[in-house]
Amino acid sequence: MSNLFNEKLKKINMKLNKDLILKLATSAVEAKNNSYSPYSKFRVGAALLCNNGEIIPGCNIENLSYSLTTCAERTAIFSAINSGKKIFSAIAITSDDKNFITPCGACLQVISEFAPKIKIILVRPDGKIKLTSLLKLFPSPPDLKFLAKK
């Protein structure tokens, strides 16, 4: 099963061309417009590419109790999983900040569990795009084998 998963992932990643990157970036910007961020005023949008080609948007959703806030990346991933999708190849992330923003630690942890080989597309408001990977941003994620039953 692992080889089948890796083959699907290779096929998906080969399809990550300029047009698809721009489509993901645009979807992330659109998702940002749905942000509920009345406290920080820091809007974030994400667009997650699923193995079937579907793009799932996500935005940050704040709460007065900040620890209950959900980031855009996790909103997109949880929405996809809730819809039965569990294989992801790319995620685009954007905000209104002039700099590229990267996922927070909680989002990196969630991404690493569901899509360790995902491509991460960072998008600035001026349209500049930077491609990176989970392993560049989170080089030593927890090893899930330690949770295996003994």
- Active-site residues, by number, are 73
Q: Is 68 exposed, middle or buried (0-12, 13-18, 19+ CB in 10 A)?
A: exposed
Report the residue count for the chain. 150
Q: Number of helices and strands (H, E) in the chain?
A: 5, 5
Q: Which residue has the tokens 């685009």?
A: 92
> Is residue 58 within a helix (H) or strand (E), and if so which, with residue range?
strand 55-59
